Structure 1
């Protein structure tokens, strides 16, 4: 992936830089599963923020600023291993079903359809990727 991206010139370099920033952020978030200590988390955060600051790409710097602004919440999630990802995923499915059902004249049917899609039995079959 690296060489073809670099062969594309400036746009390839920008995409590769953004991809590396994204992977650095994923590394930080993956530390929640490993039970990493604060020093490891702090080092991974420093590497991410340094990479983003040195990138010179406004969007990547905005990503770093957003992560920095939300750092207390992110750190709490890493420390405890808890997040609201499941509820956010279900909320996304509800919104998707509501958009697909837009135009139904019967609001009760639309609510029933949303409820059926998000029941515990149906959740195993959802493809949220």
Structure 2
């Protein structure tokens, strides 16, 4: 607990954690494993970017566009 006290205190003070960034990192790693068959790095980056955008994750409805 002593080792992580600064992070715990920051969460208590602000109410914010790093869950969102950890979730996005998890998705990026998952996609990186799935797209390992792409032949070039540009296609891999495009696929990762598409999967991690809000629209692709279903946050926006078609009618709101």
Provide the C-alpha distance between the structure 1 equivalents of 2:15 and 2:30, rounded to a whole number of angstroms: 28
Which of structure 1's runs of 4+ aligned residues deviate more than 3 A?
none
Note the aligned Cα RMSD (angstroms): 1.6
Provide the C-alpha distance between the structure 1 equivalents of 2:57 and 2:16, rounded to a whole number of angstroms: 20
2:44 to 105, 110, 125: 110
Provide the C-alpha distance between the structure 2 equivalents of 1:77 and 1:124, rounded to a whole number of angstroms: 28
Offset, 1:70: 0.6
Provide the C-alpha distance between the structure 2 equivalents of 1:93 and 1:106, rounded to a whole number of angstroms: 20
Cα–Cα, structure 1 residues 124 and 70, in superposed 2: closer, same or farther, change >3 Å?
A: farther
2:26 aligns with 92
Provide the C-alpha distance between the structure 2 equivalents of 1:113 and 1:88, rounded to a whole number of angstroms: 19
Q: Which has the larger radius of gyration?
A: 1
Provide the C-alpha distance between the structure 2 equivalents of 1:75 and 1:99, rounded to a whole number of angstroms: 35
Which has the bigger relative contact order, CA under 8 A and spacing at least 6?
A: 2
Which stretches in structure 1 are left out of the alignment for 5+ residues?
1-66
2:63 aligns with none
1:122 is paired with a residue whose SS is coil
